[in-house]
């Protein structure tokens, strides 16, 4: 169960309690769950009972007990405690179950992992100034809002869409006439025109440069955005994605695939899995037309400075890797991804998605170097390798999906 799943589960419990007339209070639009702070109990905590107590005319502890009864038996939740003045503290099922739930969710949803219906029924009109950064930001906000189920219409001062904006991916998306809510998108202006940015940076680097800073910060739009090196966050994110695709191709050449859905391995028995179906890319991502797995040893992207392509000198594949710190950090980020996308949509803040992708890329490289997904030397592919490959592919899917919400391409080769 991911944090987003847990939030929806608690919200459903509130709705059930209200429908059963056990709780007389308005159902909130959303329920926020947070990781338990040091010294706290459980994995996550929620203060919804404290929020509802006044409206319900009940002590917060009583509201918490009502909700606890309706949440405790839900799949994925191991234990629910009422702590302090009325907090609900959740202990999720065993880590292996949680890890499998995250990876299964990424596998099932593909590039739509993190999309949802939290904003279904909301209709908005985004209005922005006739300026390139405002236009690109409004377009990214539109993508984020529609991914959460909202209906969005974008308009700007003046008529028509500039040709340069269109080549940057900006397009009005009208669901119909009018909208009950209007939001103004007004970031700090870019100080450059769309045509100039396209000529100097190209559409992907230009969009990243415009969207990565928070709206109240100036957008750095210098040549650093084109540097093919570790210091450039955009290159780092796209290189991480390309690296995950290279791992999949090389694993196929070695005759194994990512671990299928099911129980995570407890040890490292050797074995080879079947090769993937020709043309089928992991997690629902389309393979290039006519693409075939390269022969073992064919060229792949060069590593970032200071990093070995297959983590030379890293520990040999051992027990299932998800308890190791680099894997845990990466899995936690993947589990948090749906919540980040929803928050970015609600706050009209695509920069949150960019920062999330940077964090995922950084965690992926740490994991890749410490827990190599591919066997080395005469080592045979093991269950641990398949598990690690599954995590690497899930990270790649999240990176590609996040970039698509920013209107930026994710090349499989760099």
Q: Among residues 12, 114, 3, 33, which one has the least CA distance to residue 344?
A: 114
26: its two tokens: 């308005």
Q: Among residues 138, 140, 150, which one has the least CA distance to residue 175?
A: 150
Buried b (16+ CB within 10 A) or exposed e, 23-47: bebeeeeebebeebeeeeebbbbbb
Each residue's pLDDT expressed in tens, for the chain with a length of 414 residues: 777 788 888 998 998 898 888 898 898 888 888 888 777 778 889 999 999 999 999 999 999 999 998 888 777 788 899 988 999 998 877 666 678 888 999 999 999 999 988 888 888 888 888 899 999 999 999 999 999 999 888 887 665 556 666 667 776 555 444 555 778 888 999 988 888 999 999 999 999 999 999 999 999 999 999 999 989 999 999 999 999 999 999 999 999 998 654 434 433 333 333 333 333 333 334 333 333 333 333 345 545 544 444 333 334 334 445 777 888 899 989 988 998 999 899 899 999 999 999 999 999 999 999 999 999 888 899 888 999 999 999 999 999 999 999 999 999 987
Query: What pLDDT score was predicted for residue 306?
Result: 44
Q: Among residues 101, 8, 23, which one has the least CA distance to residue 62?
A: 23
Residues 72 and 86: beta-carbon distance below 8 Å: no
**Rounded Cα–Cα distance for residues 251 and 368 (Å):** 14
Q: Among residues 381, 367, 355, which one has the least CA distance to residue 331?
A: 367
- Residue 45: strand, helix, or coil: strand
Query: What pLDDT score was predicted for residue 49?
Result: 92
* Furthest C-alpha separation in the chain: 69
Report CA dihedral (48, 67, 331, 241) to the nearest 10 degrees.
Answer: -70
Pairing between β-strand 87-92 and β-strand 44-46 as defined by DSSP bridges: antiparallel
324 secondary structure, DSSP code: S
The model's pTM: 0.69
**Rounded Cα–Cα distance for residues 123 and 182 (Å):** 9
Query: What pLDDT score was predicted for residue 173?
Result: 58
Is the dihedral angle over the CA atoms 145, 74, 24, 87 positive or is it negative?
negative
Residues 346 and 200: beta-carbon distance below 8 Å: no
71: its two tokens: 């949440």
Query: What pLDDT score was predicted for residue 165?
Result: 60
Query: What pLDDT score was predicted for residue 130?
Result: 85
Pairing between β-strand 33-35 and β-strand 87-92 as defined by DSSP bridges: unpaired
Query: What pLDDT score was predicted for residue 106?
Result: 94
Helix (H) or strand (E) holding 44: strand 44-46
- Residue 80: strand, helix, or coil: strand
């Amino acid at each position: 169960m991911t944090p987003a799943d847990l939030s929806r589960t608690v919200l459903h419990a509130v709705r059930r309690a209200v429908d059963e007339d056990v709780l007389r209070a308005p159902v909130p639009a959303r329920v926020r769950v947070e990781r338990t702070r040091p010294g706290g109990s459980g994995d996550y905590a929620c203060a919804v009972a404290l929020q509802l107590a006044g409206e319900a005319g009940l002590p917060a502890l009583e509201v918490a007990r009502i909700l606890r009864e309706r949440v405790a038996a839900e799949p994925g939740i191991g234990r629910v405690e009422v702590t302090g003045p009325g907090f609900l503290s959740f202990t999720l099922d065993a880590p292996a179950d949680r890890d499998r739930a995250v990876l299964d969710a990424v596998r099932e949803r593909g590039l739509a992992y993190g999309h949802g219906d939290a904003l279904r029924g909301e209709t908005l009109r985004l209005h922005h100034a006739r300026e390139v950064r405002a236009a690109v930001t409004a377009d990214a906000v539109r993508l984020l809002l529609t991914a959460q189920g909202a209906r969005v219409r974008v308009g700007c001062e003046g008529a028509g869409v500039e040709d340069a904006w269109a080549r940057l991916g900006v397009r009005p998306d009208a669901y119909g006439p009018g909208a009950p809510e209007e939001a103004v998108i007004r970031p700090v202006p870019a100080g450059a025109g769309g045509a100039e940015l396209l000529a100097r940076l190209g559409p992907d680097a230009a969009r990243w440069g415009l969207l990565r800073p928070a709206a109240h910060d100036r957008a750095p739009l210098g040549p650093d955005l084109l540097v093919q090196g570790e210091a450039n966050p955009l290159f780092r994110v796209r290189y991480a994605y390309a690296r995950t695709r290279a791992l999949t191709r090389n694993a196929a050449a070695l005759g194994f695939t990512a671990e299928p859905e099911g129980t995570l391995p407890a040890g490292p028995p050797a074995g080879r899995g079947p090769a993937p179906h020709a043309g089928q890319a992991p997690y629902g991502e389309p393979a290039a037309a006519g693409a075939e797995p390269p022969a073992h040893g064919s060229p792949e992207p060069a590593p970032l400075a200071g990093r070995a392509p297959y983590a030379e000198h890293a520990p040999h594949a051992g027990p299932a890797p998800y308890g190791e710190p680099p894997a845990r950090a990466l899995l936690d980020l993947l589990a948090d991804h749906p919540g980040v996308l929803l928050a970015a949509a609600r706050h009209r803040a695509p920069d949150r998605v960019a920062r999330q992708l940077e964090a995922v890329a950084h965690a992926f490289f740490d994991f890749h170097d410490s827990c190599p997904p591919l066997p080395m030397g005469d080592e045979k592919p093991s269950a641990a390798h398949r598990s690690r490959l599954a995590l690497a592919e899930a990270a790649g899917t999240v990176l590609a999906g996040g970039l698509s919400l920013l209107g930026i391409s994710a090349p499989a080769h760099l």
